[in-house]
Chain A
Amino acid sequence: MIELQHVSKTFNKGRATEVNALNDINLLVKKGEYLVIVGANGSGKSTLLNIIAGNIKVSAGEIKIEGEDVHNYADYQRSKWIARVFQNPLSGTASGLSIIDNFRLSAIRTQGKNLTIGVNASFTKQVKEKIATLEMGLEDKLNQQMGTLSGGQRQALTLLMSVMDDCRILLLDEPTAALDPRSANIVMQTADKLVKDFGLTAVLITHNLKDAYTYGNRVIQMADGKIIRDVAGENKLTLSQAELFEWFS
């Protein structure tokens, strides 16, 4: 699904502040894989995710999505495969727009934004039913501004929005870092459910080792721009929380 070959990324090349954020990364994420990335700050996790999303271009190497060479595609062009949930709950939704308008935008993520009115009765009904599954009581507030909601509510809605349109890849960049434990739990469980229900390929960055243990079917650890551990399949299932904690000691 996602294929990175010899991918390197250098920031501020040739200056005193030069940083090798990614160092010759080779990574193949298969269809249906739920990959969890752990690693200390500055290990290159976020850079890796941004390279996949297209916010950052590679310095060297190749990147393919579903076999298509995408290294020249901007982030908005890669959105035909990729939906994202950001670390900052405010980034994933437009606060000045109503809930329903936010959902409309996500429902046409892979399509052209035309001069037709898409928010009609049937669309509203569809969104209402989706939001009701969150059991947050937001289904009756569709015209409310997104900005009036809490971070946890917005993050949960961002997740729902990701599957409004055809979605193959879900990128989760520390989606619960800014949330309280209860909201974090709801968001992680919703994500897990969506990944399973829609057969998504997902990549999760997290500092929460408990989440890294609980979720996903493959976990990699990064350090200094390299992948230093890679545990998949059976081994991920049998990987204990204690072992995971030892990676960082």
Chain B
Amino acid sequence: MEVYLSAVLQGLCLVAIALGVYLSMKIFNIPDITTDGSYTLGGAVTAVLLTHHQSLLVTVPAVMLAGAIAGAFTGLIHTKLKINALLAGILVMTALYSVNLTIMGRSNIPLLNMSSIFNVVNLSSNPDYNTLFIVLIIVAVLILALGFLLKTDFGIAMRATGDSEQMVRAMGVNTDRMKIIGLALANALTALSGFLMTQFQGYADINMGIGIVITGLGSVIIAETIINWRRITSIQVSLILVVCGAVVFQLVLAFALVIGVDANLLKLVTALFVLLIVSLPRLSFRKQYD
């Protein structure tokens, strides 16, 4: 049971990444690879600020700002230099590795016995439940805020950008600006996941972000499968499904570990699981019409 609770907590910490990938998928139709770098960036900034005894009120905005700047770089490279969005993300992600290493000064910063967001308030005597309640509150705030944003006029324009750029420009939207803002927002969310995860696991590591975009993508695809299947149009429900997707994803990985899969093979399991959910809709489609 312990393992699964831990997986749920981990999943909830990674929700912000899933929401970030959801955004970048809406804007570009492809996941933003910057995610791998900006997640570690969020962790690095968190670790450095917390070990320098900065308050969370300083750390959270700093983390999100750092992520936003990383995303804005990807956006600028893509829109102003007309570089393919995938490549722009890879370039910034690669550069961020050095940036993160410079920020951290070494490859691993432990945060043992530090005050963290998970012990600012005590809602339960069991530390795991306390973490659960706090992370649930954060996730709820994220869903409400993002749900509101996407329903506003600005949000409609943002969602339409990945759909038909020609149409959106004809509607008076500067799509370049929209992409830069959208990527900044997506990566600010990703960095927030880095912030949560660093405190949850008690350390920041330079390699913590490797392949993390797949986790976000997997969560979104689980959600999208249900969204398409049930023809869900509500933004709020869609976002909640993305949250569920992130949790289910971690539960599947936990299950793999429980049944005895070698921990070294975990990334392989992750990739295969994403492959499975991506191909499921196509496989069932074949059966129906061939």
Query: Binding site of A, secondary structure by majority: helix, strand, loop or mixed?
Result: loop
Enumerate chain B residues within 8 angstroms of A90, measured Cβ to Cβ. 164
Pair B172/A91 contact, Cβ less than 8 Å? no
CB proximity of A43 to chain B, nearest CB, Å: 22
Pair A91/B151 contact, Cβ less than 8 Å? no
Nearest opposing residue in chain B for A119, CB measure: B151
Query: Binding site of B, secondary structure by majority: helix, strand, loop or mixed?
Result: helix
Contact of B152 among A80, A84, A86, A114 (CB under 8 A): A114
Q: How many residue-residue contacts, CB under 8 A, span A and B?
A: 100
Q: Does B170 sit at the interface, judged by CB under 8 A?
A: yes
Contact of A93 among B149, B159, B164, B231 (CB under 8 A): B164
Pair A115/B156 contact, Cβ less than 8 Å? no
Contact of A116 among B153, B160, B162, B172 (CB under 8 A): B153
CB proximity of B73 to chain A, nearest CB, Å: 23
Enumerate chain B residues within 8 angstroms of A149, measured Cβ to Cβ. none
Residues of chain A in range 92-147 having any CB-CB distance to chain B below 8 Å: 92-98, 101-102, 104-106, 108-111, 113-119, 143-145
Pair A94/B164 contact, Cβ less than 8 Å? yes
- The total of chain B residues at the interface (CB under 8 A) is 26
Nearest opposing residue in chain A for B161, CB measure: A94
Pair A94/B154 contact, Cβ less than 8 Å? no
Contact of B170 among A75, A95, A119, A143 (CB under 8 A): A75
Question: In the complex, which of the residues B153, B154, B170, B172 has the most CB atoms of chain A within 10 Å of its own CB atom?
Answer: B170
Bound state CA distance, A82 and B164, in angstroms? 18
Pair A108/B153 contact, Cβ less than 8 Å? yes
Pair A92/B154 contact, Cβ less than 8 Å? no
Bound state CA distance, A94 and B171, in angstroms? 11
Q: Does A201 sit at the interface, judged by CB under 8 A?
A: no
Residues on B close to A: CB < 8 A?
26, 148-149, 151-154, 156-157, 159-160, 162-164, 166-175, 231, 233
